Structure 1
Amino acid sequence: MAKETVKNHSEFEELVENPDALAERLSQSEDFVKKNKTKLLVAFTTIAAIVVAGFLWYNYKSTRSTEGHNAMFQAVYYFEQDSLNKALNGDGQYLGLLAIADQYDGTDAGNLANFYAGVALLKQGKFAEAQEYLEDFSADDYLLQARAYSLTGDALLEQGKSKEAADMYMKAANYNANEHFSPQYLMKAGIAYEADNNFSAAAEAYDKIITDFVASKEVSEAKKYKARAEALAGNN
């Protein structure tokens, strides 16, 4: 590294002290630019185009997301008032959650519309559709994402897909596990496993509450459910 530094320094001194050497170096640079003018122009143009396209796409998505959030205001109001048909399909003047999820797909607003739509459809008993929208939702908020997993489990369980539901409840319970919500999801998982006649897995879910969340209010009930599941597992 030291030798390379000395070499570079010597070359710099030569260029400064020797005008002919400097002129020669500049001439070489000019020749390089002339020979590669087209390639350089294409490279610079491509880079500029990528930067501009990225900037325009970011602004486009930001604008669309803002529009989507504004459109959601009335739909969410209907949702909170339990006017589920208007929340999902709109009222003729304002868009509903289904249209917002479709038209603003790929934006934060469209993503959130998936969650609301999934919950509304679940309340209406449209379980397969609810599952579809809930699975299209994703969030950085670990509580909301875990909730979405649990609701997906509800939709699956209502369709008679007990094993898939139990697995989804376990996913919710293990997603940034916490004392308040994880025991609830584990109870659901245990019940779903029992519905699938997998009593060993059910007992394990209940036991996880007992051992990992000792201060939770579900512990007492989990102990009773575990004993029952173990007894049923022993009879199979």
Structure 2
Amino acid sequence: MSKKNTDESGFEIIETPEALAGQISKAEVFFLKNRSVVFGIGGVILLAVVAFAGYRFYIDSQEGTAQTALANVVYDFEADSLQKALNGSGGNEGLLSIADSYKGTDASNLATFYAGVALLKEGKYDEAITRLQAFSSSDLLLHARAQSLIGDAYLEKNQAAEAISYYKKASEYEKNEFFTPVYLMKLALAQEKGNQAADAVSTYKRVIDEFPLSSEVVNAKKYIGLLEGQAGK
């Protein structure tokens, strides 16, 4: 019998043909004893692969239909025909139907965003919040925009704390010269409504200091003056 080889730590190293043959034999015995389990695991993996491929095929086939439906309804949305946009007209599906009927597609996700905006414009704040929270995007503009719109809905509901939370999310996501100052101004307004005057002043100052070229600077300075004047009374 060949002597077993070990490294310095004492761990057995299989190098000899006899040792290797022994390991193969052990594997064969294991397989014979557990082949039903092995085949079962293999079957589960195969089914998972087939199911995923089928799902992707289904989603891909749905995407084209959903994109066409969305293109038809966007005209109503842009024309502020909100009821038509939400519920459909002339045989066209509306945003709510597209969002719910083609889940998993990009068109459904975008329809969810549009539906949230339309519902917000109609004053249906709770429904708007639900739709906008369901929307997901890594897009620089749309993600922050959705957070800001949720803040708008909460502010309309006089829930300043919730509005502040979402405006902060919007203002902190991928900061840029064009939209971040707008979100900061909304945040400061919510802080004012939430009786957080000191925080509002700090936020207005951020607009002035961090975005000195933005058009919001003039209003930020004005509102700081008003708050500081009120505090001095």
TM-score, scaled relative to structure 1? 0.83
**Residue 7 of structure 1: CA displacement?**
5.0
Structure 2: gaps spanning 5 or more residues: 1-5
Matches within 5 A, 1:8-157: 8-9=14-15, 11-12=16-17, 29-157=27-155
Structure 1: gaps spanning 5 or more residues: 16-20
Among all aligned residue pairs of Structure 1 and Structure 2, give the percentage whose two residues are the same amino acid: 44
Q: 1:29 and 1:180, CA in 2 relative to 1: closer, same or farther beyond 3 A?
A: closer
TM-score, scaled relative to structure 2? 0.84
Compare 137-146 and 163-172 and name the one that shifted more. Answer: 163-172
Aligned residues: 226
The answer to whether the 8 Å contact 1:203/1:229 transfers is yes
Look up the equivalent residue of 2:221 and give its one-letter code. K
Secondary structure of residue in 2 paired with 1:36? helix
RMSD across aligned positions (CA):
2.7
Distance in 2 between residues matched to 1:85 and 1:31, nearest whole Å? 69
Matches within 5 A, 1:214-225: 214-225=212-223
Distance in 2 between residues matched to 1:155 and 1:7, nearest whole Å? 67
**Residues 88-145 of structure 1: per-residue CA shift (max 9 Å, x gap):** 1011511100111122234322211111111112222323322221222111102111
Secondary structure of residue in 2 paired with 1:148? helix
Look up the equivalent residue of 2:176 and give its one-letter code. N
**Residues 180-230 of structure 1: per-residue CA shift (max 9 Å, x gap):** 111111111112222233211211110111222222222232122123223
Q: 1:232 and 1:138, CA in 2 relative to 1: closer, same or farther beyond 3 A?
A: farther
Compare 120-129 and 142-151 and name the one that shifted more. Answer: 120-129
The answer to whether the 8 Å contact 1:130/1:152 transfers is yes
**Residues 16-46 of structure 1: per-residue CA shift (max 9 Å, x gap):** xxxxx96x77665544432222122112112
User: Which structure has more helix as a fraction of its residues?
Assistant: 1
